[in-house]
Structure 1
Amino acid sequence: MPRPAAKPSAAKKAPVTYREAYAALARIAAELESGEADLDRVLPLIQEAQVAYEVCRGRIEALQAALGENGPAPEETEEGEPEDEELE
């Protein structure tokens, strides 16, 4: 007997925070890497991973924009050159 299709209401709620999205990606990666994921489960896992990835990417891009793309500028010397850390 064929297996009934999953109901849309049975789908997991999309992650909202970076932490939730990262945890979802880690869980999905572990399940896929274990080799135990049923073939019928792979496509839903990939779709869930895509949503989680977009959440993470959006948060990272927002942080980069807030920091000015390259992050904080290194401290400069009077000559305008970045200071080298002295090795002891």
Structure 2
Amino acid sequence: MPRRDAPTTYRDAYAALSRIAAELENGDADLDRVLPLIEEARAAYAVCRSRIEALNTALGEGTAPDDDTGSALDGSAADRSSADDSSDEDDDF
């Protein structure tokens, strides 16, 4: 299969990641195709990450954390769990 050009937009990169994930999950990729798929996925992931970091910077939020556990756009897991805890307390009364 011919090599695809690296995506340049977030939408194209996300679509590439979705396609690659589906191909790998379905077992459609033979062993000789896995390495090129991983290389393509890395390039697409880099595009997505750079766009998200640029957006975070433009919004004054800084960059996404290195550990990928949350981002400034969707809130951290700790923020969500503390909000969930407070709503549980209200249900007891």
TM (normalized to structure 2)?
0.64
1:22 partnered with 2:22 = no
Cα offsets for 1:6-48 (capped at 9, x unmatched)? 7xxx321110100000000000000000012100000000000
Mapped to 2, the partners of 1:36 and 1:16 lie a distance apart of: 26
1:36 partnered with 2:28 = yes
Mapping for residues 3-82 of structure 1, pairs under 5 Å? 10-69=2-61, 70=72
Cα offsets for 1:42-85 (capped at 9, x unmatched)? 000000000000000000000000001146xxxxxxxxxxxxxx
RMSD: 1.4
Mapped to 2, the partners of 1:36 and 1:20 lie a distance apart of: 21
Mapped to 1, the partners of 2:5 and 2:27 lie a distance apart of: 24
Aligned identity (percent) is: 70
Mapped to 1, the partners of 2:21 and 2:49 lie a distance apart of: 17
- The letter of the residue matching 1:48 is E
- The letter of the residue matching 1:33 is E
In the alignment, what sits opposite 2:79? none
- The letter of the residue matching 1:45 is L
Q: Which has the larger radius of gyration?
A: 1
Where in structure 1 are there 5+ consecutive unaligned residues?
1-5, 72-88
